[in-house]
Amino acid sequence: MTDTLFLTSDDVAGLATPTDYVDRVADGYRQRGAGAPAEPRTALFGDDPPGMLTSYSAILPEDGYMGGYTYSAGFGAGDAWFMTPLFDAESGEPLALLDGASMNPFKTGATGAVGVDILARADAETVAIIGSGAQARGQLRATATVRDLTTVDVYSPTQAHREEFADEMTETLGVDVAAADSSAAAVDGADIVITATTASEPVFDGDELAPGTHVTAMGQYHPKKRELDTTTVERSTYVPDLRDRVMQDAGSFIHAVETGVVDESHIHAELGDVVAGNAAGRTSDDEITVFDSGGTAIETVAAAGMLYERAREQGLGSTIEFAPASDALTGK
């Protein structure tokens, strides 16, 4: 039998700062650029009741961890559950099982921040964020660790939600966060544009982007959903988290290909290749860059490994037992 650490969402909450997540996730993508294996998500969809079951996996050999994410969303309960198994990359033994709910906005936000750090202009200081939920909060908190922000404009369709977001994040970050009346007003003059929505159609007009803008799109991981229009994709240096997922579920890029605006050669490089220095990131101050963050196990394993280490140091969690196959698969 093998003792495996079980960590609840409460166990891992507060174990790491946004900066900690960004640093660990950046190193995870560096390892990906050096050849670490990672596979795109597999999503199974239910119709009645509607829901999605998703999983993906990665190995980070330098960290010594492998694992991924399995989560369900929707179905009869109309909610979501996130399970994160973490294995030893050398022995294969299960090290931990994490309830990944509380870390989700932090590790996803960290991935967006890595994209900002290597693709946005060094002097970028103003942000437009479309969306006002937990993922938008995670993106903004993490982005504030890699750039000195001066102003943020937030837009979401519900006025009360965007105003609540603005008040909360102004206090959290000590930056002037204002609620905008439209996505166009938010995007106008922004150095960094972040989309964190569940939208099926583009949330801003790509013609509104000023030269030199960086865009992080993190809500598009379905072939029929797109936060970005074809103009944004066409104008951009396009960098996804994983190349192999682009034609699978990067809806904005798929739509641009289907309409003949771009082809697959428009994919500049994976995020890991840019982080590792295998490919250039931004090459001019006038360049428009896009980071398409659909979600991978790279950030999940990187974050889970960090939380596992810190939980062990602090004596958190409980122990569960797993039987190795040599004992359990007896056939009796």
Q: What is the predicted pLDDT for the residue at 332?
A: 57
Which of 190, 187, 198, 203 shows the shortest CA–CA distance to 220? 198
Distance from C-alpha of 298 to C-alpha of 302, rounded to nearest angstrom? 6
Q: What are phi and psi of 303, to 5 degrees?
A: -70, -45
pTM of the predicted protein model: 0.95
DSSP, res 266: G
Residue type, 183: S
Q: What is the predicted pLDDT for the residue at 222?
A: 81
Distance from C-alpha of 159 to C-alpha of 28, rounded to nearest angstrom? 37
Which of 68, 58, 62 shows the shortest CA–CA distance to 90? 62
Which of 155, 151, 159 shows the shortest CA–CA distance to 203? 155
**Could you give all domains of the chain from N- to C-terminal order, each with its CATH number?**
2-104+297-328 (3.30.1780.10), 121-292 (3.40.50.720)
Q: What is the predicted pLDDT for the residue at 164?
A: 97
Enumerate long-range contacts of 255-258, CB under 8 Å, 24 or more apart.
255/226, 255/230, 256/230
Q: CB 324: neighbour CB atoms within 10 A?
A: 12
Q: What is the predicted pLDDT for the residue at 57?
A: 97
Mean pLDDT of residues grouped by 10 in the chain (332 residues)?
A: 93 95 98 97 91 94 96 90 96 96 94 98 98 94 97 96 97 96 96 93 95 92 88 97 94 96 97 98 96 95 98 96 84 58
Which DSSP string do the residues of 169-233 spell out, in sequence order?
A: HHHHHSSEEEE-SSHHHHHTT-SEEEE----SS-SS-GGGPPTT-EEEE-S--STT--SS-HHHH
Secondary structure class of 331 (helix, strand, coil)? coil
Q: What is the predicted pLDDT for the residue at 99?
A: 95
